[in-house]
Amino acid sequence: MSEILVIGHRNPDTDAICSAIGYAEFKRRTGMAEAVAARCGDTNDRIDFVLNTFGVPAPRFVADVSPKVSDVMQRKILSVRPDSTAAEALRLMDEKNLRILPVLDADHKCLGLLSLFKLSKFLFPAVNRHGGQQNSREVLSSLAVLARTLDGELFAGSEIDREEELILMIGAMGLESFAARLDQFPPEKCCVIVGDRWDIQNVAIREGVRVLIVTGGTSVDAKTIDAARRKNVSVITSSHDTSTTASLCRASLAVRHVLNEEFLCFRETSPLAAVRDEATSSGYLAFPVLGGEGQTVGILSKTDFLKTVSRKLILVDHNELSQAVLGADEVEIIEIIDHHRIGSLATQQPILFRNEPVGSTSTIVADCFFRQGVELPRPIAGLLLAGVVSDTLNLTSPTTTARDSEILKKLEGIAQVNAREFTEKLFASGSLLTLKPAPQAITTDCKEYAENGIKFSVAQIEEIGFNQFWKRKDELLAALEEYRASRAYLFSTLLVTDVTSQNSLLLAVGDEKFIKRIDHPRLEPGIYELQDVVSRKKQLLPYLTHCLREKEKGVKV
């Protein structure tokens, strides 16, 4: 199925979530019906507050967009049960032009694969050079299944549901020759196939064969049936000719006896790239695809690897692959809507790239509605308002522009929400430093950056006051260092911003030469005071990259 995911960065903040929902709504209203809002990280308490306030569900969680087995597998499964007959399987394979059929039990678990090649070897066994023909005579079935396979009628019989080994004999020779041949086999195992030759029928019944099959739609007279009952001989009529009846008898075998129990299967969530080589180099033609509980949810063939995965992405609130959902480099990116610096992302073809120096991606999304005269639903207007006030600290951040102010005023009217009052409720709705363990608090809004091949991270927490920070500073520093080391970053920083005073504290760990470049007042080891700094994008990131360049130049402090 074709889908276009509108998705923000990892560890999404309020603006990323709200702009994704808003832009997906805009695209659907302007003709892109397959646009779906998505997220590649968990929401937090503030995001949940916003979503609950305006009655909008969270975007779909998508951890990885790389092509999966589920994207190309055949979801309509043509299969047989283990007690299905070879005749039923062959009929299905002929009708659907199949060479492989999965055999599934009642719980949809795959017991094995049924191949046309193996079936043909069973139905047409090679004759032994030394005259042995026992294999071509053997039938493993029950009388009830034999009658069903022949579309016939069972007139007399006992233990008709018992599966047993039978020996086929065709009554197409003279009576004496037939009687002599019959003596070579145990009569209780013999399955005699004959037309309207009453003499052969009588001999077979007299000798007490297991079953007599009368072909050609010939009726069996009452005397013959009575005689069969007295000798405990079962009688089945077949509307087919003798040759067809013999073939169908061998094909009455349950497929569980001829399936390939060794097969290769994959999980539906497995990346295509991870299984392609194993599948294509194997000798198997088809591969059962398993769901979470081991049930068969699809079939994958080698030709399915040639299919094109139609998933596409629209990135919002970022434009760097290092911040994008996993697998973004394996699918087509068709649009980017952002307000951050332009990174190193490259595309294979021209795309719509709207990057504006405003305080919030939600500002750009709202502007799309207004410029094109598209109706903006009240709940979506509320979300976009939340995105704007969150990223601009209600227009007090240095990233704020006149365009943000203009858009916010319009959103207030449509959403019928006072921005100032909403901002107070928003920042009071969830304190990360109060509610979250340190490792989670420092990564909730964390972004990875790369500068001249050097990777580092910058996280931000917005609080009302610094009281909680000073209580937890030691564990925050420890968690930040552990996070940096686990990803081999040169350095990692955390900006803790007091939204009321418009000041911040900076935690920095990592390369000592880099740390020495930070010239803001140091309050404690690894903790710096940043007066009037509230913006990660416009204030902190340029400063950090400047320090990095100075460090690389080897400029003395």
Sequence ranges of the domains in the chain:
3-67+310-428, 71-119+257-306, 151-251, 432-553
As its CATH architecture, domain 151-251 has: 3-Layer(aba) Sandwich (3.40)
User: Per CATH, is 432-553 categorized as 3.40.50.970?
Assistant: no
pLDDT score, position 557: 42
In this prediction, residues 222-244 reach a mean pLDDT of 92
CATH architecture of 3-67+310-428: Alpha-Beta Complex (3.90)
The encoded tokens of residue 41 equal: 């990280």
Q: Is 95 helix (H, G, I), strand (E, B) or coil?
A: helix
- The stretch 275-288 carries a mean pLDDT of 91
Quote the pLDDT of residue 552: 79
How many other CB atoms are there within 10 angstroms of residue 141's CB atom?
25
Residues 407/445, Cβ–Cβ less than 8 Å: no
**Residue 167 three-state SS:** strand
CA atoms within 13 A on the CB side of 193: 27
Q: pLDDT tens-digit profile of 445-471? A: 899 998 888 999 999 999 988 999 999
**pTM of the model as a whole:** 0.66
Q: What percent of the chain stands above pLDDT 90?
A: 71
Q: Which residues contact 364 (CB under 8 A, 6 or more apart)?
A: 19, 337, 338, 339, 354, 356, 358
Residue 345 reports pLDDT greater than 90: no
Homologous superfamily (CATH) for 71-119+257-306: CBS-domain (3.10.580.10)
Q: Which residue has the tokens 């009628």?
A: 153
Count, residues in the chain = 557
Write down the residue that tokens 């299919």 correspond to.
Answer: 307
> Could you give the angle at the alpha carbon of 452 between the alpha carbons of 451 and 455, nearest 5°?
50
Other beta carbons less than 10 A from residue 57's beta carbon: 9
Q: How far apart are CA 9 and CA 315, in angstroms?
A: 8
Mean pLDDT of the chain: 91
Tokens standing for residue 250: 């061998």
**Are the folds of 3-67+310-428 and 432-553 the same?**
no
Residues 6 or more apart in contact with residue 431 via CB below 8 angstroms: 463, 464, 468
Residue 462 has, within 13 A of its CA and on its CB side, a CA count of 28
Inform me whether the pLDDT recorded for 428 exceeds 90.
Answer: no
Unique residue bearing structure tokens 């079962």: 234
* Cβ–Cβ under 8 Å, residues 118 and 260: yes
Residues 127-153: pLDDT tens digits?
655 555 456 788 999 999 999 999 999
Closest CA to 406 of 340, 353, 359, 354: 359
Residue 265 token pair: 């299967």
- Whether the per-residue pLDDT at 89 is higher than 60: the answer is yes
